[in-house]
Amino acid sequence: MNAATTYKKISETTDRADHLWRYTPWKKVHPTGDTEKIPEMHEEVKIRLINLDGSEPAEGISLQRGGDIEGDLPEIDLVATSFVKAVSENSRWVLRTERKFYSDAPILLEIEADGDMHALELILDIGEMSDFEIITLIKGKADWVGLLRTGKIGDASNINDITVGLQKKGVLLRLDSISLGRDANMNTGTVSSGSERTKADLRYKMAERGSNLQVLGSILSREEMHLDYHIEIQHDAPETFSRLAWHAACGGKSRTIGTGMLKVAKGSTGTDAAQNFHNLLLSKDARADGIPELEVSESNVVGCGHGIANGPIDESQIFYLESRGFSESDARSALIAAFLNSTLTKMGSTYLHSWLSKLLTSELDVMNN
């Protein structure tokens, strides 16, 4: 059964009682709102693979059309997945690295979407013992963008994977289904200040012993943005480690939602896992929700914890900075930047962090002007 047929059979099965669609119904994510239809994509996204400094990537990494991947991947929502697969039937790519691929320069996967609707399926096939940083940058003025990423991180690989959303408008649907191999280390981050509406279903599975995962978020919302992220981390093997740290700064009449599901399967002894959501409210009309959840079926664990904290900017800190010569606007920007930097600093190398910090500063300038 192809993706379009699958979608048409199940398109009406979502409702707000479903955990995933409780805060952002599928009808509000669908490109037209008519959930029975699969609109046609008239033009493909522009996609290119370069180093962050503009040079050519090292040998051993490629971006090619087509392909598939097999493996023990985490299940993601079938409605959203089949829809993106159906729309992106002719826009399917494989990002592949050879065994022991290494790059000391951060690699940029740039996705530019400027038409009415775009969708892309990206398969990650990361070879064993690879070591590199990659930034997926989503930009453009498209009304609707769908990005589905599936794949495997090879054994003993060390990957720093950052997704940056900088669309000027529209809706972004993001789906991740990624599995980590034995002793693999993955640091995956989200930096977002674009799109009017975002729905993300990000799921990661540690299916082999010794894998490590860190999931980070630095989210800046303004005006009437609605940004909804569901992050699910599955521990399915012994001696695995994960941390989820999600920071959202919410201004205007915007709303952010962060739901974290931490699952520890029976037999996953020695698991060490935790998740924390921190929300900074920048206006009285802004709203932020953090919902951490646990499903632990193994008693012999190092620890499984969660936490959440919400609050406004500390006015006494603004007063202090003003006493040191800051304007009120600059003081607020400095405090917001410091808050978001607490997760941003963990997103890779010094060079990459500097690039991300400049991007954040630019977005804060837009918010203040």
Per-residue pLDDT averaged across 34-55, rounded?
91
Per-residue pLDDT averaged across 253-258, rounded?
Answer: 95
Q: What is the pLDDT of residue 80?
A: 94
| pLDDT tens per residue across span 65-87 | 987 777 778 888 899 999 999 99
122-160 burial string, b = 16+ CB within 10 Å, else e?
A: bbbbbbbbbbbbbbbbbbbebebbbbbbbbbbbbbbbbb
* Phi and psi at residue 300, to the nearest 5°: -90, 75
pLDDT at 328: 86
CA distance 75 to 53: 36
Q: Give me the pLDDT at residue 366, please.
A: 76
What pLDDT is stored for residue 289 in this prediction? 93
The pLDDT assigned to 15 comes to 61
d(C-alpha 258, C-alpha 240), whole Å:
23
pLDDT band at 24 (very low <50, low <70, confident <90, very high): very high
pLDDT of residue 194: 72
pLDDT at 17 over 60: no
With cut-offs at 50, 70 and 90, classify the pLDDT of residue 193.
confident
Residue at token pair 């599901």:
261
Residue-level pLDDT at 155: 97
- Dist CA 325 CA 334 (whole Å): 13
What average pLDDT does the structure give for the chain? 92
DSSP output for 287-348: EEEEEEEEEE--S--SEEEEEEEEEE--HHHHHHHHHTT--HHHHHHHHHHHHHHHHHTTSS
How many angstroms separate the CA atoms of 267 and 250, rounded? Answer: 40
pLDDT in tens, 195-247: 899 999 999 999 999 999 999 999 999 999 999 999 999 999 999 999 999 99
Q: Phi and psi dihedrals of 337, rounded to 5?
A: -60, -40
| Residues 281-303, mean pLDDT to the nearest whole number | 93
CA-to-CA distance for 200 and 146, rounded, in angstroms? 10
Instruction: Report CA Rg, the chain.
Output: 20
The tokens of 193 are what? 């200040």
Range scoring the smallest mean pLDDT among 121-135, 172-186, 251-265, 354-368? 354-368
Q: How confident is the model at residue 14 (pLDDT cuts 50, 70, 90)?
A: low
pLDDT at residue 298, as a whole number: 92
Per-residue pLDDT at 345 exceeds 80? yes
pLDDT on residue 237: 96
pLDDT digits (tens, 9 = 90+) for 135-185: 999 999 899 999 999 999 999 999 999 999 988 789 999 999 999 999 999
Give the pLDDT mean for 250-266. Answer: 95
The sign of the CA dihedral 176, 343, 241, 133 is positive
CB atoms closer than 10 angstroms to residue 221: 27
Is the per-residue pLDDT at 367 higher than 90? Answer: no
For residues 50-73, average pLDDT = 89
Q: Which of the pair, 148 or 90, is modelled with greater confidence?
A: 148
Res 16: pLDDT = 55
pLDDT value, residue 67: 74
| Upper half-sphere CA count for residue 234 (Cβ side, 13 Å) | 19
Look at residue 89 and tell me whether its pLDDT is greater than 90. no
φ, ψ of residue 51 in degrees (nearest 5): -75, 155
Residue 2 — pLDDT band, cuts 50, 70, 90? confident
CA–CA dist 200, 203 (Å, integer) = 10
Q: What is the model's pLDDT at position 18?
A: 74
